[in-house]
Amino acid sequence: MADRGKHQTAFGFETRAIHAGARPEPVTGARNTPIYQTTSYVFEDAEHAADLFNLSRFGFLYSRITNPTISVLEERVASLENGRAAVAAATGHAAQFLTFFTLLEPGDEFVSSRNLYGGSLTQFGLSFKKLGWTCHFVDGTDPEYFRRAITPKTKALFLEVLANPGGIIIDLEKVVEIGREAGIPVIVDNTMASPYLHQPLDWGADIVIHSTTKYLSGHGTSMGGVVVESGKFDWTQGGKFPSLTEPEPAYHGLTFYETFGDFGFTTKVRAVALRDFGPSQAPMNAFLTITGIETLHLRMERHVANAQIVAEFLEGHGRVAWVSYAGLKSSPYRALAQKYLPKGPGAVFTFGVKGGFDAGVAMVEAVELFSHLANVGDTRSLIIHPASTTHRQLNEEQLLAAGAGPDVIRLSVGLESVDDLIRDLDQALG
Amino acid sequence: MAELEYDDAKIAGILERTETIAMVGASGNWVRPSHFAMKYLQSKGYRVIPVNPGEAGATLLGETVYGDLAAIPDDFQMVDIFRNSNAAGRMTDQVVAIKNKGIEVIWMQLGVRNDAAAKRAEAAGLTVIMNRCPKIEFGRLYGELGWSGVNSRIISAKRPRLHSRIGRRAVSRHG
């Protein structure tokens, strides 16, 4: 029969970036993934409807929970991360919220590296507090700090291996070891690296989160987030995760881990957190992101090649005080970069202009080709002064800790002609 | 313990050849995984005969529940075991003893694995699958599992045939 599964030797990354999750549409033969711009799906009969509501069969019910275009995005990212399953959300922030809602009970804690995207620092440190969840921030550059911050209420460890914005790399294997000993999952925000440069699950992480808004979509068109689970974490250990191992009252006492096994976590995220809070992704955004992912490998190669050239140029510039890019020989993170990101340590990095805060502001206003805005991972080159924008909610101590001090400029190096990028930065530095 | 790996073709072949499944541990409690699996497999055209000593004689999803495998009057090609790994071992030996019912496959559910018992069954000519769920594998191989964001690992540019198996099954069962 035509669609019998054959044993597949593992397909390469590039093949999966283009094909994973997206077979031709069976009714029409449409080769590209259709945009299923529909809210809902007609039931075959009352029994079919009941089975879908009860999760006893696979199928589409309501686009807040599942949508065929979004399913393609989910399976594709799960495949690229070598994960078992994924669930998409409206944004990366929504993906983080859904993940922690599924893991934590009120009064629970988690430990996070403080070398994070500024928006995550605010979400974890301020907004989550209102829900009764406590995040302890630690200096992730020494993984031992994670261990010291763990209490009996700690349910997860969180980090960005390639940290935003600072060119810092966290030693994931050591954090994974600490997570294993404590019996808690290690969650990696892999947005800055993309699965082409780094695959956290292969190093033992348990959950990966993406803001697909960045490199996965890649063209600055679409907001989106995704949660991927490895399928390897044992949720029964220590009785720490009742949300996975105890009967769920919202589903008549269904137990998610027992019923869905190695995709129990993402199923719970979808069936309860996504259903009840509703931050689902738009099908159009999923379509644009799927299209973006098809060239992820090509784009990332050029992103890191351009970033290396730009970083080397800036390091040699007289008006630049320092450059923090793990691809430079001067970087203390170069060895970790070669270990965890052998194809290149991303294309977002920071540098300091001589003259502090005012010089930083002057620089972002003087560029012509770099776009001054709050995003990363676009085809276009982007520039921002974090202290006056993305990280401005933080106090000075937090700014320094996050690698976003007053003189810091963050670049997201795009895919333009690299000579043009250098000329623009050169004239802006004066 | 090494992870178990099964060829997609092997699993697909089993799901293709099997007509009737004896489900050990099938539960009348509709939120139990075995109930989900039984209902799903029925919807795909399999006949599923429930086996559960605690519910023997009752009717479950239109089928009579039997107290043990030997009591089932009809032939069945697969035994799907929803029991713990030790009990699955005892069950396997029982299957070996009665395999003249046409049994070809012993299938142990997610989380159930008994390597020693599997060896004995394989020596007796049976095929053994462990730590998998036929519902999930059916969904994975025939394109439904990806709807839930699961990585099916299936990559193909061939146009899928719409409900090919489901249609055939439905015809052979009801017609």
Query: In chain A, what percentage of residues exceed pLDDT 70?
Result: 98
Nearest CA in chain B to A27: B162
CATH of the domain at B20: 3.40.50.720
Each residue's pLDDT expressed in tens, for chain B with a length of 175 residues: 778 899 999 999 999 999 999 999 999 998 899 999 999 999 999 999 999 999 999 999 999 999 999 999 999 999 999 999 999 999 999 999 986 788 999 999 988 999 999 999 999 999 999 999 999 999 999 889 999 999 999 999 998 875 445 444 433 333 2
In a domain, residue B76? The reply is yes
Q: Looking at residues A80-96, what average pLDDT do you find?
A: 98
A261–B161: do the CB atoms touch at under 8 Å? no
Nearest CA in chain A to B141: A5
Kindly report, as residue ranges, where domains of CATH 3.40.640.10 are found in chain A: 13-292
Give the burial class of B54: count Cβ atoms within 10 A of its Cβ; 0-12 exposed, 13-18 middle, 19 or more buried. Answer: exposed
Mean pLDDT over the full length of chain A: 94
Tell which of A31, A75, A87 to mutate to test the B interface (max B CBs under 10 Å). Answer: A75
Asked if the C-beta of A91 comes within 8 angstroms of chain B's C-beta atoms, the answer is: no
Q: Looking at residues A336-344, what average pLDDT do you find?
A: 97
Encode pLDDT of A134-152 as tens digits.
Answer: 999 999 999 999 999 999 9
* Of the partner residues B110, B144, B146, the one whose CB lies closest to the CB of residue A261: B110
Q: Is the pLDDT of residue A238 over 90?
A: no
- The dotted CATH code for A13-292 is 3.40.640.10
- The dotted CATH code for A296-429 is 3.90.1150.10
In a domain, residue B121? The reply is yes
| DSSP calls for A148-170 | HH--TTEEEEEE-SB-TTT--B-
What pLDDT score was predicted for residue A125? 96
What pLDDT score was predicted for residue A165? 77
In a domain, residue B49? The reply is yes
* Of the partner residues B9, B10, B143, the one whose CB lies closest to the CB of residue A3: B143
In a domain, residue B120? The reply is yes
Q: Is the pLDDT of residue A343 over 80?
A: yes
Kindly report, as residue ranges, where domains of CATH 3.90.1150.10 are found in chain A: 296-429
- Structural domain of residue B47, as residue ranges? 8-174
Query: For residue A106, which of A123, A122, A130, A138 has the smallest C-alpha distance?
Result: A130
Q: Is the pLDDT of residue A7 over 60?
A: no
Encode pLDDT of A18-43 as tens digits.
Answer: 999 999 998 999 999 999 999 999 99
Is the complex ipTM higher than 0.90?
Answer: no
CB A142 within 8 A of CB A95: no
In a domain, residue B22? The reply is yes
CB A158 within 8 A of CB A189: yes
Kindly state the tokens that stand for B172: 């052979």
In a domain, residue B1? The reply is no
- Return the SS3 of A33: coil
Report the number of distinct structural domains present in chain B: 1
Q: From CA A294, how far away is CA A17, in angstroms rounded? A: 5
B164–A259: do the CB atoms touch at under 8 Å? no
Q: Looking at residues A356-376, what average pLDDT do you find?
A: 93
In a domain, residue B3? The reply is no
The whole-model pTM stands at 0.92
B144–A266: do the CB atoms touch at under 8 Å? no
What pLDDT score was predicted for residue B99? 67
